[in-house]
Structure 1
Amino acid sequence: MSEAPKRVTKRRVLLFGRGSHQWEESCPILRRYLKTIPGYEVDYVKEDLDVFTAERIEPYNLIVLFNTGGQLTVEQKRGLVEGVAAGKGFVGCHGAADSFRASPEYLAMIGGEFQRHPATREFIVSLTDNKHPVTKDIKGYEVKDWEPWPIFEYKVYDEQYLLDSDPRVHVLATTTFRGSLWPVAWVKPWGQGKVFYTILGHHPGVVREEFFKQLFIGGAKWAGGKQPYRKPKTDRYDII
């Protein structure tokens, strides 16, 4: 007797693009990634910040923000921040930490704020938690003649955001700059909602990279899923 097919839970996703960082090229790539997740139905909205008002954001289970700069009205801010607190998921890429900076509630929700960056360059990203639901499917690699211990480090060519971040976030990946560790991706709760953020995504080239794709899809699956936030057993990273 064959097994009954698994029931797929439908989840409505709002993908929002605006600002800079070639969002008009990167957002369609993100949309394709989101559509690979079973049950995810994606609406792509360009530039219309009123989509964050309580009435318009209400149908969505997950908000994906590819935005830089701008300001939110009181109604837009309340709809977004309170919507996530009520249980919606949130995914922010790159400039999402350089957005809506006059709204401290938004910055508290995302967990950090952009400060500066060196020139776009190649740097190494290291996974610090490869057991989390966001990162567990990202493949490591093995070095010939070593013991079979996979290495979870990846070269990226991107704008290396350096942020002030909430020390309570759970960091999933880090990089180094001038001798200090800096977060590359993290998760955190916001009320009943789940938040995933990564500094990556400055240009479409990095958005097309396999490491970014796996990290983004993992973050979107986790943030948009029905399971509540579970505090990780350990935090392996200290903010410097």
Structure 2
Amino acid sequence: MSKQRPLLVLFLLAIIFPLMTWGQKADRILIFTKTRGYAHASIPAGVEAMQEIAAKRNIQVDTTSNVEWFTSEKLKPYAALVFISTNGSVLNEEQREAFKEYIHSGGGFMGVHGASAGARTWPWYQEMVGGAFSSHPEPKEGVLLRGNLLHPINRDFPEHMVWKDEWYNFSQVEEGLTILLWADEASYIGGEYGKNHPIAWIRDFEGGRSFYTALGHFSYHFTDAIFRKHLEAGLLYAMGKDAETASF
């Protein structure tokens, strides 16, 4: 009997391990860069930065601008979808349904800069992102203010920082967001919110998770160490990782 025990253990592991891991998303992300109309020149720099951040975390990356990737089966392996300055309504109804199914099954979304300008005729997408882009002044310097001071995703961001960007205004901002960064409208001209102007946030949404940052208009932004930590923390949140114990 003792000789049979190792075989029994291996047999049980062969059954139990797949059951334990079934349904879990691997450490793999999909970077999506499709645009229709205006395309930010910073998109390649954003892709490169996210690839380097992922490599640091041993996360596998696929990158595409092909909307045919949006099927239930093709999206299933990904822990997060990363939209880098996507623009325009690019997904058809079937692809939108696959996207919704992905989020409803616990998937994560990360939107960078122009991602809030995508799918303006798709209310579900705007709600999932958390805000819909409406306008911005010419790029200029302003001051970023740290929002939720206690949230671990924010711990490496200074309480205030001078930053040059397109300071996005939004036609709507959803309720229930955890605001990570505010724009200090007293520091520049062109804001439309007054005291409370959100620029980056997170939210749980319909079974999934969403991180959005309006920063990232210029290519050089993606070499900034603080901004990279901001992106890294946002990615970990979107993937469902514990940012509190993550080492930056």
Pick one of 18, 25, 42 that aligns with 2:34: 18
> What does 1:123-134 correspond to in 2, within 5 Å?
123-134=142-153
Q: Distance in 1 between matches of 2:205 and 2:215?
A: 21
What SS is found at the alignment partner of 1:76?
Answer: helix
Does the CA contact (< 8 Å) of 1:127 and 1:172 recur in 2?
A: yes
Does 1:32 pair with 2:47? Answer: no
2:177 counterpart of 1:161: no
Please give the alpha-carbon distance, in whole angstroms, between the structure 2 residues aligned to 1:52 and 1:156: 35
CA contact (8 A) 1:156 1:206 kept: no
- Is the 1:31–1:44 Cα contact (8 Å) retained in structure 2? no
* CA-CA distance at 1:10 after TM superposition: 4.5
Distance 1:75 1:197, change over 3 A: same
What SS does the aligned partner of 1:181 have?
coil
Larger fraction in strand = 1
Contact 2:45/2:222 (8 A) holds in 1? no
C-alpha contact 2:30 2:82 (8 A) present in aligned 1 = yes
The structure number with the bigger radius of gyration is: 2
Aligned equivalents of 2:120 and 2:206: distance in 1? 20
Q: Which residue of 2 aligns with 1:173?
A: 181
CA distance in 1, matches of 2:152, 2:106: 18
Q: Distance in 1 between matches of 2:104 and 2:166?
A: 30
For residue 228 of structure 2, the aligned residue among 204, 213, 225 is 213
Bigger helix fraction: 2
Among 61, 83, 107, the residue aligned to 2:126? 107
- Give the Å deviation of 1:170: 1.3
Q: Is the 8 A contact 1:72 1:103 kept in 2?
A: no
Whether the 8 Å contact between 1:77 and 1:103 is mirrored in structure 2 is: no
What is the Cα deviation at residue 226 of structure 1? 5.0
Q: Distance in 1 between matches of 2:26 and 2:168?
A: 34
**Ranges of 4+ aligned residues in structure 1 off by more than 3 Å:** none
Q: Which moved more, 1:106-115 or 1:14-23?
A: 14-23
Distance across 1 between alignment mates of 2:203 and 2:120: 19
Confirm or deny: 8 A CA contact 1:98 1:113 kept in the other structure. Answer: yes
Q: 1:145 aligns to what?
A: none
Counterparts of 1:113 and 1:93, CA distance in 2: 13
Unpaired runs of at least 5, structure 1: 1-8, 141-151, 228-240
Relative to structure 2, which stretch is displaced further, 27-36 or 85-94?
A: 27-36
Match of 2:7?
A: none
TM-score by length of 2: 0.77
Residue aligning to 2:140: 121
